[in-house]
């Protein structure tokens, strides 16, 4: 995580004096915004909807929980954390003040440049007691975390365990890096979709609920779509990721001599891609693709899992994430190439090997559980 933050500090370059000034304004601004937030908390307590809470910072995380258990997601009231603007959150002025104190007074944040992740981490530093007060006020009985690998989610988890609440932790998507989190208790259940993801937690989770991997749902949907199409896929799909985003058109133009090219943008991001624009669903786009060109991302994992030839484009900014690519070692239909090398001679990379059945099957078994019943423990179901 320190390597990631080091990279983010170089990219975002938020000067420490600027951050301190901005946080001073955040403290004042959130005093006003905390009034409607207090009313939301009071309303949750009065109508009893505060008994089961889902902590998330954006809609993508909420949608991720739905992939594993729509029933669980629908039974919870959503509380936004790591989100300064939402009123559906715990009061933020105390957290902004906490961030101001830690960044201005502690050695941990004494860097010339900071990043947004530093600010969020400082805001929730040692905040579990404060969060416990909120949970106790709401008479909460069950907490669901949409992730746990960063603060504030780990602090919420500690607060829930300190109060003896039922805690359910959902893995942060199908592509998880190694991370450290809090020790678990007998009232904490983790939902994982693969052995690979469960092994990346330190310490290991004590009680694991194995759920069918969303990767198999994507694979099965692509197989069905290709049967409907009735012909072999011919397109080249360029998948948007942050570090290659400014090069998407350049990549598409370099690939155009080798076939029809489409660009798929990340959900929530907009860019005019002209003739390369693709407005199809993910399944339709992937089913039409004979080759997918993207960065280090969940799309790359989905493509490789489905047996689609995949080029992973990396840049100097990806240095911190290179160890994540070890999971693809030995797969014949995957190749990692630097952006500079690819642009210089894309033809070299157009003849990727096909996915070998034994290799692919072993990779799929490691990366995703299949034929699990997705059954939550009875103690959880009693609260739904």
Length of the chain, in residues: 384
Per-residue burial over 88-122, b if 16 or more Cβ lie within 10 Å, else e, is: ebbbbbbbbbbbbebbbeeeebebebbbebbbbbb
Same domain, 42 and 191: yes
Same domain, 122 and 250: no
Same domain, 154 and 220: no
Judged by DSSP in three states, 133 sits in: helix
Instruction: Answer for the pair 278, 240: CB distance below 8 angstroms, yes or no.
Output: no
pLDDT of residue 236: 95
Same domain, 241 and 209: no
Q: Structure tokens of 25? A: 């304004």
Judged by DSSP in three states, 6 sits in: helix
- Could you give the number of structural domains in the chain? 2
Same domain, 301 and 206: no
CATH of the domain at 265: 3.40.50
- Residue 210: how many CA atoms within 13 Å on its side-chain side? 11
pLDDT of residue 19: 93
Supply φ then ψ for residue 87, to 5 degrees: -85, -15
Its pTM stands at 0.84
Instruction: Answer for the pair 55, 39: CB distance below 8 angstroms, yes or no.
Output: no
pLDDT of residue 379: 65
E strands present in the chain: 14-15, 52-56, 77-80, 113-114, 142-145, 166-170, 179-180, 188-192, 201-202, 208-210, 235-239, 261-264, 289-294, 309-314, 334-338
Same domain, 353 and 374: no
Same domain, 66 and 129: yes
Same domain, 226 and 207: no
Helices 16-47, 93-105: inter-axial angle, 10-degree rounding: 150
pLDDT of residue 153: 95
Per-residue burial over 341-351, b if 16 or more Cβ lie within 10 Å, else e, is: ebeeebeebee
Task: Tell me the C-alpha distance between 256 and 240, whole Å.
Answer: 17
Same domain, 108 and 120: yes
pLDDT in tens, the chain (384 residues): 566 777 778 878 899 999 999 999 989 989 999 999 999 999 999 999 999 999 999 888 898 898 888 888 999 999 999 888 889 999 999 999 999 999 998 888 888 899 988 999 999 999 999 999 999 999 999 999 999 988 999 999 999 999 999 999 999 877 677 888 999 999 999 999 888 889 989 999 999 998 888 899 899 999 999 999 888 899 999 999 888 998 999 999 999 999 999 999 987 788 899 999 998 999 999 999 999 999 988 899 999 999 999 999 998 888 777 888 888 999 999 999 999 999 999 999 988 888 899 999 999 998 988 877 677 776 666 665
Structural domain of residue 66, as residue ranges? 2-213+370-381
Instruction: Answer for the pair 43, 123: CB distance below 8 angstroms, yes or no.
Output: no
| Alpha-carbon dihedral sign for residues 151, 156, 159, 160 | negative
pLDDT of residue 60: 83
pLDDT of residue 371: 76
Same domain, 128 and 171: yes
Same domain, 192 and 269: no
Same domain, 18 and 99: yes
Q: Structure tokens of 229? A: 């199409």
pLDDT of residue 384: 58
Q: What is the DSSP letter of 35?
A: H
């Amino acid at each position: 995580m320190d390597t990631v933050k080091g990279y983010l500090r170089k990219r975002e370059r938020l000067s420490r004096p600027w951050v301190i000034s901005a946080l001073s304004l955040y403290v004042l601004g959130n005093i006003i915004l905390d009034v409607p937030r207090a009313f939301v908390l009071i309303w949750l307590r009065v109508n009893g909807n505060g008994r089961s809470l889902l902590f998330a910072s954006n809609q993508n995380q909420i949608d991720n929980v739905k992939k594993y258990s729509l029933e669980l997601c629908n039974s919870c009231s959503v509380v936004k954390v790591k989100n300064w603007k939402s009123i559906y959150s715990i009061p933020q002025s105390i957290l902004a003040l906490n961030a101001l104190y830690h960044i201005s007074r502690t050695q941990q944040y004494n860097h010339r440049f900071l990043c947004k992740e530093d600010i969020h981490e400082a805001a929730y530093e040692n905040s579990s007691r404060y969060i416990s007060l909120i949970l106790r006020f709401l008479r909460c009985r069950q907490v669901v975390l949409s992730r746990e690998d960063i603060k504030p989610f780990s602090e919420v988890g500690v607060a829930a365990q300190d109060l003896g609440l039922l805690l359910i932790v959902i893995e942060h998507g199908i592509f998880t890096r190694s991370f450290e989190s809090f020790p678990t208790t007998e009232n904490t259940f983790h939902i994982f979709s693969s052995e690979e993801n469960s092994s990346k937690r330190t310490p290991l989770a004590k009680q694991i609920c194995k759920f069918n991997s969303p990767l198999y749902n994507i694979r099965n949907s692509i197989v069905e779509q290709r049967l409907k199409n009735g012909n072999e896929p011919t397109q080249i799909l360029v998948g948007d990721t942050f570090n290659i985003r400014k090069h998407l058109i350049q990549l598409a133009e370099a690939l155009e001599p080798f076939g029809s090219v489409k660009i798929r943008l990340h959900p929530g991001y907009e860019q005019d891609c002209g003739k390369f624009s693709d407005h199809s669903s993910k399944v339709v786009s992937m089913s039409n693709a004979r080759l997918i060109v993207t960065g280090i991302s969940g799309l790359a994992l989905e493509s490789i899992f489905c047996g689609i030839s995949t080029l992973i484009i990396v840049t100097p900014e990806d240095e911190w994430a290179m160890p994540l690519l070890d999971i693809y070692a030995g797969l014949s239909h995957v190749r990692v190439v630097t952006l500079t090398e690819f642009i210089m001679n894309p033809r070299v990379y157009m003849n990727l090997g096909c996915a070998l059945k034994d290799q692919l099957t072993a990779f799929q078994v490691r990366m995703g559980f299949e034929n699990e019943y997705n059954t939550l423990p009875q103690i959880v179901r009693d609260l739904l």
